[in-house]
Amino acid sequence: MKSWTSYSVAILLIAAVLPVYPQVPEWAVSHKHANYPAGEFILGVGYGTGDKADETAKRLAQSDIAAQVRVKVQTEIKNVQQTYELNQNQESYADFKIKSTSVVDEELIGAAIVEMAVDPSTGITYALAALNKEKFSDAIAAELSQRWEQPKELQRQAKEFLRQGKLTEAVENLAEARAAVMELLPKQALHDALSRTPLRVEPSMGPLAITSGIREALSSVRIEKISGDKQKGKIGEKFSLPFVVRATVGEENNVVPVVGDVIVFLNSSGDQLGEGITDAKGVAECSMQARGSIGRQIRARLSQQGLGSEFFSDLNASSVAFDCSVLDADVAFSLKVEVRPSGVNDVLRSVVADAVTNIGYHIVDMSRFMLRVEFQTAPPTTIEGVDGTLYSVSTEITIVLIDKESNRTLGSVIGKSQGVGITQDGALQKSAHSVKLGESELVSLLEKAKN
């Protein structure tokens, strides 16, 4: 009879040659778990090795869920776009798509690690994360229901403002409501991606409906000319009468004056010449100096600076045009520019001459009134780029009006700019060329020249 020692040695030898099979949890392969049915949960699997195997596995398991939710959200983006008739060509729609993708990372906090396992043969740690879709979507729905109240209240206030003739406040509220809705839609896409029942709100709360509300408010405005039409004005002098308009808003028997709104007065190129604010009767006026840039018409329309370019046609629809004539000035100016280098001198002469003639005055060789141009620069700085060293300079131009007959300085205006070039002289020339002179300030300076 063999001894127990011989049997033990045999068993050890057999164990040494038998393979050790890996112990990978079934859920890590199938993405399924009996305790977390697919209809109610989204499961994520992650794995990790090394010193921080647990942390890595947990993080990857939650990332797995996030990736699955993103796919579902992409489908809902199209559904939301169709439901609310979002314009795919608008910048707001592109922003909505970006935020709908990022909202998953910002809001996905309900995915819990529900199980861990370690394969002793490989040292790999596995983690299982589970997201309860109904519980998570219900929490989002509760938040959305509360936050949808803000744009609803803004719309209600907008209607009240319109009844009071406060057009700016009404339009601002509607624009704010639209922006608020666009912030909510990405979170709604996340909700609908996980919920059995999509969350829908009344059609009047959609961005398109709110945009239509803005257009309706603007289209109900009427601007009429009161006085100031068909005037003649001489360059350098004010028109004898202010340009006066009355603005009202409303339909049929419910017309009220537009109160406290800015009316801008523009030339044919759309450059602003002046502005006025409507009073309690909706009347606004603007006194204006004649200048060459006015042309033959001055157009008055609502300002509404907060609105985008998409509403320009609606603003222009209610505008009115004043006919006018601009006559030559009684005075001209000589121009003195003496700066170095000569290339900068030539650029400055051209920039200033163009600005003066655009107002309607003439530049001549000899005149009682002289415009002396002074040019100052800060020490250049260097910028190292892929194409080598570039030079950047900041400059200041001062235009001084001098009455040579009395040897008096009548005033001055200042313009500033910056230029970048491959040489210091090139940077100076670009800076001189980009000098911006405020037309209103220059007009006020030139009108000080009196014969």
Classify residue 244 as left (phi > 0), alpha (psi -120 to 50) or beta.
Answer: beta
DSSP 3-state of 168: helix
Cα–Cα distance measured from residue 427 to residue 16, given in angstroms and rounded to the nearest whole number: 81
Chain segment 340-353, per-residue pLDDT in tens: 777 888 899 999 99
Query: pLDDT for 144-166, tens place per residue?
Result: 999 999 999 999 999 999 999 99
Its pTM stands at 0.69
Alpha-carbon gap, residue 266 to 431, rounded angstroms: 29
Separation CA 76–CA 64 (nearest Å) = 19
Task: Tell me: pLDDT of 98 over 70.
Answer: yes
- Pair of tokens at residue 238: 């004010």
Q: What six digits make up the tokens of 44? A: 């994520």
Comparing 22 with 243, which gets the higher pLDDT? Answer: 243
CB 430 within 8 A of CB 421: yes
Instruction: Report the alpha-carbon distance of residue 73 to residue 106 in Å, rounded.
Output: 14
The domain spans of the chain are 23-219, 225-327, 333-446
Same fold for the domain at 225-327 and the one at 333-446?
Answer: no
Q: What residues contact residue 405 under an 8 Å CB cut-off, 6+ apart?
A: 368
Q: Where are the alpha helices (DSSP H) in 84-194?
A: 91-107, 133-147, 149-163, 167-194
Query: Looking at residue 322, what is its pLDDT?
Result: 97
Q: Cα 386 to the chain's mean position, in Å?
A: 31
pLDDT digits (tens, 9 = 90+) for 235-250: 988 899 999 999 999 8
Which pLDDT score is estimated for 101? 79
How confident is the model over 437-450, as pLDDT tens digits? 888 899 889 989 87
Q: What burial letters (b/e) apply to 119-130, b meaning 16+ CB within 10 Å?
A: beeeebbbbbbb
User: 333-446 belongs to which CATH class?
Assistant: alpha beta
pLDDT by residue (tens digit) across 303-327? 877 777 778 888 889 999 999 999 9
**For residue range 368-418, what is the model confidence (pLDDT) as tens digits?**
999 999 988 888 888 887 778 898 999 899 999 999 999 999 999 999 999
Q: What are the counts of helices (DSSP H) followed by strands (DSSP E) for the chain?
A: 12, 17
Instruction: Give the up-direction half-sphere exposure of residue 43: CA atoms within 13 A in the CB hemisphere.
Output: 20
Could you please state the CATH topology (level 3) that the domain comprising 225-327 is classified under. Answer: Immunoglobulin-like (2.60.40)
Radius of gyration of the chain (CA): 36
